[in-house]
Amino acid sequence: MKAIKENKRTFPLIGAVIVFALVFCVLYLGKNVGLSDNGDFRRVLLVNNLEYENDDNYYYLFKRDYKMKIEGDTFGEKAAYLCQNNDAEEIYSSPHFVIIKASKLMNFLINIVFHRDESHYDIGCLAFIYTLMLSLAAWGIFTFFADSKKRIRIAVFVIFIVMFCDAGYILYFNSFYGEPLQFVSLMMLVALGLLIYKRPTIPKVACFFVSLYFFAGSKLANVPYAVIVSLLALSFAFLRKERRYKIGVAVSVLAAAACIANLYLSIPDWMHEDTTYQSVFFGALKETETPDRDLKEFGIDEKYMPLINTHAYMQEDEYPIDIHSDEFREDFYEKVGKLDVVFFYIRHPVRFVGKVAFAIENASCLRPLNLGTSETVIMDSTNRYSLWSNLRVASKFLYNPIIVFLMALLLTAYVVLINVFLVKEKRETNEKRLYIIMVMYILLAGLWINMCLPIIGNGEADIMKHMFLFENCMDVLTAGIILGIVSMHRRNKIISVVTLAAVISALQIGKPKETMEFGTYNGEPIQWEVMATDEDGTKTLVTKKCVEQRAFDDSDNMWETSSLREWLNSDFVREFTLDELSRIQPVQNEVMLTYNDRHMAESGNHTHIWSATRDAAADLSETAYKYTVDDMVYIPTLDMMDTIDVNGSYWILCPYGYNEKMQRYMKNDGFVLHTNVDNVRGVRAAVKIKPQ
């Protein structure tokens, strides 16, 4: 009996230590990995008196070292200064800054102990704090299940290690984004919610609401959900009958509500304005077929129609109208708000469902795909400890809009039916049952709010990153479902697993592509995928697999002068027969241009805005800066992306719009990304041939 009790006490501790060690290995075993800046770091660095130690290529490389501004003569004065905000900057309240300041103090102490430059800042200290918080959450979750059967304890441990220690979550720890605090705060909320259910105490309740405050402030878009959670968490009061405990819960709820309200009130005007602009012009109105009618519904003057499909972070000279003028402020910002967007979508539910479906499709990958993870190779991502990330994408389960909508509807129906049953049968709702019902409501609210809010609050701009909380919630829900299957009787377990496997298998089924042989490379006949067949029998072909691994070029992303284009039209076709060469037809390809090369444009009025999902990769390409190139052998084009088989990682015919040294490519998980032209990627050749 004593051995069993000891095992129950050591299981949570050992599990938490393993989590800490694993996270450390993911981040620092081998080459350091983390996320690069996409522009969001600037306001965090400025407010916290931090700056880059070396700001070269900081948009595309993970940076570990920074500089802290320090003032004062004594240790106390310097430590106090490190805890201050930069008053010269527009400040908004955020508990995220508390964590950053704690990491600054850690760096300061380490610098003193090891006699280093006292202003040196290593982001590893910030990652250490996040790792410690995640380990504490793991300890709490493992503690709750310490009394469970062995198979349940093992399942909980494996789920946490595989799912929530995945690099998709952990890479955020090496960054100044709000997502890591959001993630660890959410896991702390889960852990504390379980521990309160098991044995409610005032300290646990207080810690829950402190975590809720950090969660709300990690990303200010979390405030609406945090308010709902705080109200539903009043059910804590029913878990114990003591008046002192109930008063403690009430005080905690009120304090949390006040702090969360202050977070919302501290949001600066520019943040409201930017997100409103994007939710309208790059959200509700993006690619609309009825622009005049839609503008009228919003009460926006038709003269602003040229702003449709633009977002708030373009180059100043790309806007056809000055969006910073007093006139535009009066005509738009002072008249249109988020509620107008909500009412617009209520009147256009089909459009809203389509937008949400697009957001769900972008929620498949845990880490933002446009951000580099390496310290040395620009835009080079890592596959280190990414089993769960890869399973999410490969299964096509958690980001299929139909599946997700169905899960949300079933969960909603389940919660509603439980309440109807309890009321109809006049069943007594005891404290534990009420708590479980409130947890269901919290899960339900989290699912729907975080599915829809990114589209309403920020449109389609940076949508993959803004769906991170939805991904968190889906994974928590998935973990619960897996745990439920593990705890089932054998027969039900088999039925559940077989059903799940059948659904995932069905999602993999696709119409097989027509294939053919044409030409020879390295002495082997080349297999081609038929992309299109014209009425006269002319076929557009793409090699079924990558024929080579090559850099795009060694200097820039101009297709016409690239070394890859030269190679395709010389060495690649060297073994083709004269008859095969004669069948290759010339093609006029429209090629996008970067912002700096826009003077060469034959058509278009904006830089191409990229999207990572295959079916949206060509969005807004018709009106983007482009020119035509006469090609014989080329690489897959944007309009092929939604139908081409993935089959590897390879270059596509589209530059990244805001950097002349980056080219887009298909990643082997089916997303269309961008990387430096001198990085090596696969090559799939494309040709158009006439019939024999």
Cα four-point dihedral sign 481, 483, 488, 494: positive
How is residue 479 annotated by DSSP?
Answer: H
Cα 202 from Cα 237, distance rounded (Å): 10
Separation of alpha carbons 322 and 305, rounded Å: 13
The verdict on residue 106 lying in a domain is yes
For residues 566 and 685, state if they share a domain. yes
If asked whether residues 313 and 208 sit together in one domain, one would say no
Considering the domain boundaries, does residue 655 fall inside one? yes
The last residue of one of the domains, among 484, 499, 523, is 484
**Is 419 found in the same domain as 288?**
yes
Phi, psi of 537 (to 5 degrees): 90, 0
Residue 224 lies in a domain: no
459: pLDDT confidence band, cut at 50, 70 and 90?
Answer: very high
89 or 154, higher pLDDT: 154
- The answer on pLDDT for 12 being more than 90 is yes
How many domains, the chain? 3
What's the pLDDT band for 564 if we cut at 50, 70, 90? very high
Average pLDDT value over all residues in the chain: 89
The DSSP H or E segment spanning 676 is strand 672-676
Among 484, 502, 535, the domain boundary falls at 484
Amino acid at site 79: A
Helices (H) and strands (E) in the chain, counts: 24, 14
Using the 8-state DSSP alphabet, how is residue 406 labeled?
H
pLDDT digits (tens, 9 = 90+) for 180-198: 999 999 999 999 999 998 8
Contact between residue 515 and residue 528 where contact means Cβ atoms under 8 Å apart: yes
For residues 561 and 684, state if they share a domain.
Answer: yes
Whether residue 492 lies inside any domain: the answer is no
Query: Are residues 96 and 164 located together in one domain of the fold?
Result: yes
In a domain, 672, yes or no: yes
Q: What does the pLDDT look like over 532-546, one tens digit per residue?
A: 999 899 999 999 999
pLDDT at residue 1 tops 50: no
Helix, strand, coil tally for the chain in percent (to 5): 55, 10, 35
Cα dihedral 315→316→321→323 (10° resolution)? 100
CB 267 within 8 A of CB 224: no
Residue 330 clears pLDDT 90, i.e. is over it: yes
pLDDT tens across 572-584, in order? 999 999 999 999 9
Instruction: Mark which of 260, 291, 325 sits at the end of a domain.
Output: 260
Domain encompassing residue 530: 515-689
Supply the DSSP string of 414-438, one letter for each residue: HHHHHHHHHHHTT----HHHHHHHH
In three-state secondary structure terms, 205 is: helix
Do 570 and 429 lie in one domain? The reply is: no
Report how far residue 71's alpha carbon sits from residue 77's, in angstroms, rounded to the nearest whole number: 7
Q: Is residue 510 part of a domain?
A: no
| Count of Cβ atoms closer than 10 Å to residue 517 Cβ | 10
CA dihedral 531, 365, 152, 16 (to 10 degrees): 150
Q: Which candidate, 504, 544, 518, places its Cα nearest to that of 645?
A: 544
The residue among 218, 225, 251, 224 whose CA lies nearest residue 237 is: 251
Does 235 reside within a domain? no
Instruction: Say yes or no to pLDDT of 39 above 60.
Output: yes
Q: Judge if 322 and 410 occupy the same domain.
A: yes
Q: Is residue 15 part of a domain?
A: yes
| The pLDDT of residue 136 | 97
The Cα–Cα gap between 308 and 85 comes to 37
The pair of three-digit structure tokens given for residue 569, joined into one six-digit string: 């039209």
Q: Tell whether the model's pLDDT for residue 89 goes beyond 70.
A: no
Residues 293 and 429 in one domain: yes
Buried-exposed string 62-91: b where 16+ CB fall within 10 A, e elsewhere: bbbebbbebeeeeeeebeebbeeeeeeeee
Is the model's pLDDT at 432 over the cut of 90?
no
Same structural domain for residues 569 and 616? yes
pLDDT over 60 at 513, yes or no: yes
Closest by CA to 219, choosing from 256, 266, 179, is 179
421 compared with 416, residue with greater pLDDT: 416
Structure tokens at 69: 């501004």
pLDDT, tens digit, 9 for 90 and up, residues 231-289: 888 888 888 888 999 999 999 989 988 888 888 888 888 888 999 999 999 999 999 99
Q: Are residues 195 and 276 in the same domain?
A: no
Report pLDDT for 595: 93
Specify the pLDDT at position 453. 92
Mean pLDDT along residues 459-471: 90
139 shares its domain with 78:
yes
Instruction: Kindly state the average pLDDT of the residues 444-465.
Output: 90
Q: What is the pLDDT of residues 638-657, one digit of tens each?
A: 999 988 988 889 999 999 99
pLDDT above 80 for 602: yes
pLDDT-derived band at 34 (thresholds 50, 70, 90) equals very high
Q: Yes or no: say if 367 and 382 are a contact pair by the CB < 8 Å rule.
A: no
Note whether 322 and 447 are same-domain residues: yes
**Greater pLDDT, 373 or 436:** 373
